[in-house]
């Protein structure tokens, strides 16, 4: 029998005090994994856990927060405080990044904001959460390997007023690259050919750590599905069969006018999120990922109990988080970020650690991509802004590959796509660009600090697609 959230919470004992600040409790399909320290911190302890990832396959060593995949779902109310103690049980350094949250820069968990946490040591993250929505956490060091080993989990910031009669399920999507025997493929890590193509694309799809899980939800309630793409590099094209879902949020931020995803195909780059609301009803739901060929069915949600009256009422927009709107862009300097390189990209060379090097030397050093002619992290920021200044960036994808551009600490609003006004613009922290596409975005640089800006295809990031912006205090 699936446990209800209440039963889960009741069972956590000492943890429930901490749950008032941050609840690490599971919805039915999550393990109960709260570890609370006496000082009110929720502990996220990285453990190496031999795990059977593929049904019938061999055990493989995963690296997991509190021993579970995905890591515990952290829940906190909007304007609440997150207090998490990261305990590094790896043999290598790590750090924890909170993806998509408009966070205090010191707590961002990137190499620009903190030193790596050595093996056996811990780091305390304490921050307020200004925005309700669906976020996630993952390491920001050797990310391609650490995330692929299972280090990620959802961070859910609840609305101040809970949605009435809506069941809430987080679906964490991942594709792992495994060998025939079910063990995690190790050879592909650091492979420059993979990094120069689409990145580490997996062959074993999981939802909440399981292959094709069967979940259940009440037919008599609306259902909010929070989709999180935690894969290293795969662009996901989620599709729901059995109902027409209504899109209510992207990358955590509510969209202005919720819309039915009838014929419209949702696309989520790695790191991207979408919140969908599904009306009451008793038809079983199937989540599929559209790729080449037949859509791959990845999860099933059975709807139990009575659906009641037909659900024809409107689906209201979620309460706005009040992000500062950029306003008129007249006279504002557009800073171009030209993305080059990769297979079939014709890149001749780039600046690497301050030196001009040819393609061969780039590749020998593990690089295949550049931003504005520079491969890898830059000493100088790509752009510096005064606090509160309106920023306009045009991403120019001159490569033959899609990319998922992620800015830390702030969300951006697309204003132009290939020179035309953006259609139904929505705040994004992870913006998918097609091959050869250019997208102009605007935002108010209102969060002071040093913020990374990189491709969230983790192998692309590692192989050169990484820079940062500076917002002066
Ligand atoms: Cu989700 Cu810079 O990362
Ligand atoms: Cu990329």
CB 214 within 8 A of CB 188: no
Mean pLDDT of 419-425: 96
Q: Which residues of 117-131 are buried (b: 16+ CB within 10 A; e: fewer)?
A: beeeebbebebebeb
Question: 57 CA distance to ligand 2 centroid (A)?
Answer: 31
403 close to ligand 1 (CB < 6 Angstrom): no
Token pair, residue 27, equals: 């919805």
Q: Minimum-distance ligand to the CA of 451?
A: 1
Per-residue model confidence (pLDDT) at position 444: 98
Question: 461 CA distance to ligand 1 centroid (A)?
Answer: 10
How many Cα atoms within 13 Å fall on the side-chain side of residue 274? 26
CB 362 within 8 A of CB 353: no
pLDDT tens digit sequence for 84-140:
999 999 999 999 999 999 999 999 999 999 999 999 999 999 999 999 999 999 999
Per-residue model confidence (pLDDT) at position 101: 97
Query: Which residue(s) pair with 296 in the sheet?
Result: 289
CA 263, distance to chain mean position in Å, is 25
- Listed range (16-25, 110-119, 126-135, 277-286) with the worst mean pLDDT: 16-25
Residue that the structure tokens 């008599």 belong to: 220
Measure the CA–CA gap between 457 and 155, rounded to whole angstroms.
Answer: 20
Per-residue model confidence (pLDDT) at position 34: 52
pLDDT tens digit sequence for 131-171:
999 999 999 999 999 999 999 999 999 999 999 999 999 99
Q: What is the 3-state secondary structure (H, E, C) of the chain?
A: CCCCHHHHHHCCCCHHHHHHHCECCCCCCCCCCCCECCCCCEEEEEEEEEEECCCCCCEEEEEEECCECCCCCEEEECCCEEEEEEECCCCCCECEEEECCCCCHHHCCCCCCCCCECCCCEEEEEEECCCCEEEEEEECCCHHHHHHCCCCEEEEEECCCCCCCEEEEEEEEEEECECCCCCECCCCCCCHHHHHCCCCCCCEEEECCECCCEEEEECCCEEEEEEEECCCCCCECEEEECCCCEEEEECCEEEEEEEECCCCCCCECCCCEEEEEECCCCCCEEEEECCCCCCEEEEEEEEECCCCCCCCCCCCCCCCCCCCCCCCCCCCCEEEEEEEECCCCCCCEEEECCEEEEHHHHHHCCCCEEECCEECCCCCCCEEECCCEEEEEEEEECCCCCEEEEECCCCEEEEEECCEECCCCCCECEEEECCCCEEEEEEEECCCEEEEEEECCHHHHHCCCEEEEEECC
- Listed range (29-33, 80-84, 111-115, 234-238) with the worst mean pLDDT: 29-33
Measure the CA–CA gap between 27 and 31, rounded to whole angstroms.
Answer: 8
138 close to ligand 1 (CB < 6 Angstrom): yes
Measure the CA–CA gap between 22 and 6, rounded to whole angstroms.
Answer: 15
pLDDT tens digit sequence for 178-231:
999 999 999 999 999 999 999 999 999 999 999 999 999 999 999 999 999 999
457 close to ligand 1 (CB < 6 Angstrom): no
452 close to ligand 1 (CB < 6 Angstrom): yes
pLDDT tens digit sequence for 176-192:
999 999 999 999 999 99
Looking at every residue in the chain, the average pLDDT score rounds to 92
Answer yes or no: is pLDDT of 8 > 70.
no
Measure the CA–CA gap between 206 and 68, rounded to whole angstroms.
Answer: 13
Answer yes or no: is pLDDT of 35 > 70.
no
Q: What are phi and psi of 461, to 5 degrees?
A: -60, -50
Listed residues: CB within 5 A of ion ligand 2? 403, 455, 457, 460
Token pair, residue 360, equals: 């061969």
Question: 29 CA distance to ligand 1 centroid (A)?
Answer: 26
Question: 48 CA distance to ligand 2 centroid (A)?
Answer: 29
State what percent of residues in the chain have pLDDT above 70. 92
Using the atom order of ligand 1, give the atom closest to the CA of residue 430.
1
Answer yes or no: is pLDDT of 319 > 50.
yes
CB 371 within 8 A of CB 422: no
Per-residue model confidence (pLDDT) at position 292: 79
pLDDT tens digit sequence for 245-260:
999 999 999 999 999 9
> Residue 291's pLDDT band (boundaries 50, 70, 90)?
confident
Kindly report the pTM of this predicted structure. Answer: 0.92
Q: Minimum-distance ligand to the CA of 112?
A: 1
Question: 460 CA distance to ligand 2 centroid (A)?
Answer: 5
Answer yes or no: is pLDDT of 408 > 60.
yes
Q: What are phi and psi of 359, to 5 degrees?
A: -60, -40
The closest residue, in CA terms, to atom 1 on ligand 1 is 99
Query: Which residue(s) pair with 287 in the sheet?
Result: 240, 299
Measure the CA–CA gap between 55 and 65, rounded to whole angstroms.
Answer: 21
Among 120, 131, 48, which Cα is nearest to 82's? 131
The closest residue, in CA terms, to atom 3 on ligand 1 is 99
How many Cα atoms within 13 Å fall on the side-chain side of residue 60? 23
């Amino acid at each position: 029998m699936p446990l209800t959230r209440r039963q889960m919470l009741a069972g956590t004992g000492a943890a429930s005090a901490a749950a008032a600040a941050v609840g690490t409790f599971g919805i039915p399909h999550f393990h109960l994994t709260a570890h609370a320290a006496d000082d009110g911190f929720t502990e996220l302890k990285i453990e190496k856990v031999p795990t059977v990832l593929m049904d019938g396959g061999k055990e493989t060593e995963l690296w997991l927060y509190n021993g579970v995949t995905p890591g515990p779902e952290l829940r906190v109310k909007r304007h609440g405080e997150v207090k998490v103690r990261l305990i590094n049980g790896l043999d290598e350094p790590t750090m924890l990044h909170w993806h998509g949250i408009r966070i205090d820069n010191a707590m961002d968990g990137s190499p620009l904001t903190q030193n790596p946490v050595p093996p056996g040591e811990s780091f305390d993250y304490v921050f307020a959460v200004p925005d309700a929505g669906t976020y996630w956490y993952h390491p920001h060091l050797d990310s391609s390997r650490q995330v692929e080993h299972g280090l990620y989990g959802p961070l859910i910031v609840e609305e101040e007023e809970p949605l009435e009669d809506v069941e809430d399920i987080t679906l964490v999507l991942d594709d792992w690259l495994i060998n025939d025997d079910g063990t995690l493929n190790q050879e592909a890590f650091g492979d420059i050919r993979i990094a120069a193509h689409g990145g580490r694309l997996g062959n074993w799809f999981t939802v909440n750590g399981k292959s094709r899980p069967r979940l259940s939800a009440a037919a008599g309630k609306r259902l909010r599905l929070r989709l999180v793409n935690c894969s290293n590099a795969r662009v996901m094209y989620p599709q729901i069969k059995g109902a027409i879902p209504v899109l209510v949020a992207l990358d955590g931020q509510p969209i202005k006018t919720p819309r039915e995803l009838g014929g419209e195909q949702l696309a989520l780059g790695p790191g991207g999120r979408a919140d969908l609301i599904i009306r009451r009803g008793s038809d079983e739901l199937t989540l599929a990922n559209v790729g080449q060929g037949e859509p791959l069915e990845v999860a099933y949600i059975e709807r139990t109990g009575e659906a009641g009256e037909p659900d024809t009422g409107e689906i209201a927009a979620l309460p706005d988080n009040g992000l500062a709107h950029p306003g008129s862009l007249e006279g504002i300097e557009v800073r171009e970020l030209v993305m080059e390189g990769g297979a079939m990209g014709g890149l001749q060379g780039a600046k690497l650690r301050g030196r001009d090097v040819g393609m061969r030397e780039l590749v020998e050093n593990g690089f295949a991509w550049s931003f504005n002619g520079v491969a890898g992290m830059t000493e100088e920021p790509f752009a510096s802004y005064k606090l509160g200044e309106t920023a306009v960036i045009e991403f120019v994808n001159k490569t033959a590959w899609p990319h998922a551009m992620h800015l830390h600490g702030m969300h951006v609003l697309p204003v132009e796509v290939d020179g035309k006004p953006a259609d139904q613009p929505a705040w994004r922290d992870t913006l998918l660009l097609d091959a050869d596409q250019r997208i102009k975005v605007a935002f108010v640089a209102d969060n002071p600090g040093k913020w990374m800006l990189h491709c969230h295809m983790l192998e692309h990031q590692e192989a050169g697609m990484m820079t940062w912006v500076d917002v002066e205090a």
